[in-house]
Amino acid sequence: MRGLITGVPVTRRVVDRFVAGENLDQASAVLADLVGEGLTATVDRLGEDTLDASDAAATRDAYLAMLKRFAELGIAGRTEVSVKLSALGQKLPKDAAKITLENAVAIAEAARDAGTTMTLDMEDHTTVDATLGTLRDLRGEFPWVGVAIQAMLFRTEGDITDLATAGSRVRLVKGAYMEPASVAHQDKHEVDKAYVRAMGTLMRSSAYPMIGSHDQRMIDIAHKLVGETGREPDTYEFQMLHGIRATEQRALVAGGETVRVYVPFGDDWYGYFMRRLAERPANVMFFLNSLVKK
Ligand code: FDA
């Protein structure tokens, strides 16, 4: 599948719907446009599951260069970074936790120096304990480091309760990984119900909820909870992925909401792209049609 997809030239056009270019120059142009339109962003340099410490160091250095560039462009205040810990060393055969933390600390320091923040993406369920452990270590010095939490996992109810502390930046998402029935809801309706429960816990707490969803029902329920709890607009935000519901992103901004767009870039787009296809059958049709049309 990887050979087929990456080998087809037309694929690039389809990938471009979700990925903001292959390099930092291309991504920076997308970011400048988003910021110009009143949106904020979180930038992911694509890549995951590295088994080599020098690749992890290269990922760290790429983030340091990105943060420097955002500061130079004057967009760092509205552009943070999203990091996958498996790209920073979480799966290395030796000293994984130590190397991951060192790399993550270097990025957090650079984010702080640039005047912005960083959020840890959440990967498949086998990584959650390690990611939350690194989050705890980071938050000692950088309390503003955020984390993504996946509603589909059974454990999430407890994790959300633990994380619902003052100012704690938590990005609530449904979950993008194929997970076994032993650890995660399989039924979409159950995932949605779990999402609403977790959103209620976060919104009623003193945490900083980041509502990561394109689902209009979730957005409507978030608005209802904001009304119920009397939250001020700067105490939560909405987040959506680049290329998905762009019109709604701008409509929310026009309504006075903070909206952060998750902007991935880089040439290692295969895993990210496949998760976007898997989420929505219509995306597979879009992809197949583009092969036929050329
Ligand atoms: P749902 O899948 O129910 O979709 C609702 C509607 O949104 C659809 O009907 C459609 O209109 C639109 N939509 C959703 N997905 C689409 C797609 N791929 N293409 C086109 N339209 C689409 N996951 C994870 O496991 N770890 C993480 O760290 C993150 N990080 C993250 C950051 C941000 C900012 C967002 C928005 C999402 C993530 N995710 C994630 C992904 C998340 O777990 C989830 O897979 C997707 O957001 C899809 O779920 P929705 O809540 O959008 O609802």
The CATH number linked to 179 is 3.20.20.220
**Predicted pLDDT of residue 284:** 79
**Predicted pLDDT of residue 294:** 47
Domain for residue 186, yes or no? yes
Please tell me the pTM assigned to this model: 0.95
- Ligand 1 pocket, 239 CB below 6 A? yes
- Ligand 1 pocket, 160 CB below 6 A? no
- Ligand 1 pocket, 240 CB below 6 A? yes
Q: Is the ipTM reported for this complex over the cut 0.95? A: yes
Q: 128 is in which domain, residue-wise?
A: 20-268
Domain for residue 10, yes or no? no
**Cα–ligand 1 centroid distance for 215 (angstroms):** 8
Domain for residue 76, yes or no? yes
Known active-site residue 137: no
Domain for residue 114, yes or no? yes
**Cα–ligand 1 centroid distance for 94 (angstroms):** 33
Question: Which residue out of 241, 249, 263, 287 has the highest number of ligand 1 atoms within 8 Å of its CB and is therefore the one to mutate?
Answer: 241
From residue 53, give the alpha-carbon distance in Å to each of 84, 118, 254: 15, 21, 44
Instruction: pLDDT tens for the chain, 294 residues: list them.
Output: 666 666 666 467 778 889 999 999 999 999 999 999 999 999 999 999 999 999 999 999 999 999 999 999 999 999 999 999 999 999 999 999 999 999 999 999 999 999 999 999 999 999 999 999 999 999 999 999 999 999 999 999 999 999 999 999 999 999 999 999 999 999 999 999 999 999 999 999 999 999 999 999 999 999 999 999 999 999 999 999 999 999 999 999 999 999 999 999 998 888 898 899 888 878 877 777 766 654
- The one catalytic residue among 44, 121, 192, 268: 121
Answer yes or no: are the C-beta atoms of 210 and 237 closer than 8 Å: yes
Domain for residue 264, yes or no? yes
**Predicted pLDDT of residue 9:** 60
Which atom, in ligand 1's list, is nearest to the CA of 82?
Answer: 28
Known active-site residue 171: yes
- Ligand 1 pocket, 214 CB below 6 A? yes
Secondary structure in 3-state letters for the chain: CHHHHHHCCCHHHHHHHHCCCCCHHHHHHHHHHHHHCCCEEEEEECCCCCCCHHHHHHHHHHHHHHHHHHHHHCCHHHEEEEECHHHCCCCCCCCHHHHHHHHHHHHHHHHHHHCCCEEECCCCHHHHHHHHHHHHHHHHHCCCCEEEEECCECCHHHHHHHHCCCCCEEEEECCCCCCCCCCECCCHHHHHHHHHHHHHHHHCCCCEEEEECCCHHHHHHHHHHHHHHCCCHHHCEEEEECCCCHHHHHHHHHCCCCEEEEEEECCCCHHHHHHHHHHCHHHHHHHHHHHHHC
Domain for residue 5, yes or no? no
- Ligand 1 pocket, 26 CB below 6 A? no
Domain for residue 288, yes or no? no
Determine phi and psi for 160, rounding to 5 degrees: -65, -40
- Ligand 1 pocket, 59 CB below 6 A? no
From residue 184, give the alpha-carbon distance in Å to each of 128, 166, 181, 190, 193: 13, 28, 5, 10, 13
**Predicted pLDDT of residue 202:** 98
The domain total for the chain is: 1
Query: Measuring from atom 5 of ligand 1, which residue has the nearest CA?
Result: 215
Q: How far apart are CA 1 and CA 148, in angstroms?
A: 28
Domain for residue 219, yes or no? yes
**Cα–ligand 1 centroid distance for 233 (angstroms):** 23
